[in-house]
Amino acid sequence: MIQKLSIIIPVFNESETIISVLEKVSDVQLINNIAKQIIIVDDHSSDNSLEAITQFKNKHPQADITIVKQQVNMGKGYAVRTGMSKATGDYIIIQDADLELNPDDFNILLKTSLDQNAQVVYGSRFLKKQQSQVPLLTLMANRILSMVTSLLTGKKVTDMETCYKLIDRSLLQNIQLKENRFGFEPEITIKLLKNNNIHFVEVPISYQPRTKKMGKKIGVKDGIRALYCLTRYRFS
């Protein structure tokens, strides 16, 4: 039974998209009348992101919105961990502050979790054909990382780097997360999936990829770090 979903939104210099994201997250009606807790972690943005977030909260006083202001830029992983510490929902999910993913897909993950009694559901961008072409470098990097994840865990994974990770919050109480940047994605994935008692499922989601010029921050160095994290945390 899922009564509340905690939605963690890490933000760093996303003033052009954050209001659109917050509107979409606020507007989506979750199945079974599941309540929403929206946790926004501003990772010391240098643009107008924090001001925009604050204005949005002030305009929506009835919504369950928590804003956390980081005093120093620490990275996505640290921001997500901070958000997790504020979460009160039965499950958590992460929403990036861009427009690559569609919050309407929350319900696909929630329904799968409920129907299949899955404690961990990942939204895979590569289980269906997308309307927009996925950049070749993004596609190849994710295929390699997902293949390595599958080999290390014995579970088929097609999109290890996906943002949409729906996780039973109780599972996180026994997992210590350390990565501050994008190494968070492989770290949490490998630490969850090496537990054979966890029921893991992937479902297809929509994906509208953005480029470096549009603000995408992850790069080649993060891919190399991801391979290191997968190996390190699998055997540590």
Q: What is the pLDDT of residues 18-52, one digit of tens each?
A: 999 999 999 999 999 999 999 999 999 999 999 99
Percent of the chain with pLDDT over 70: 95
Measured distance CA(220)–CA(13) in Å, rounded: 20
Looking at the DSSP bridge assignments, the partners of residue 124 are: 204
> Taking each helix axis from N to C terminus, what angle separates 184-193 and 76-86, rounded to the nearest 10 degrees?
60
| Local structure of 48: helix, strand or coil | coil
Measured distance CA(70)–CA(63) in Å, rounded: 22
Q: Where are the domains of the chain?
A: 4-235
Edge-first strand order for the sheet with 65-69 is 65-69, 35-42, 4-11, 91-94, 165-168, 120-124, 200-204
> What pTM did the predictor assign?
0.93
Measured distance CA(32)–CA(227) in Å, rounded: 38
Start-to-end CA distance of the chain, whole Å, equals 33
Measured distance CA(146)–CA(130) in Å, rounded: 18
Containing 200, the helix (H) or strand (E) segment is strand 200-204
Measured distance CA(154)–CA(38) in Å, rounded: 34
| Contact partners, residue 40, CB within 8 Å, separation at least 6 | 9, 11, 22, 53, 65, 66, 67, 68
How confident is the model at residue 215, as a pLDDT? 44
**Across 67-76, 147-156, 215-224, least confident range:** 215-224
Q: What is the fold, at CATH topology level, of the domain defined by 4-235? A: Spore Coat Polysaccharide Biosynthesis Protein SpsA; Chain A (3.90.550)
DSSP 72: S
Write out pLDDT tens, residues 116-171.
Answer: 999 999 999 999 888 777 788 888 989 999 999 999 999 999 999 999 999 999 99
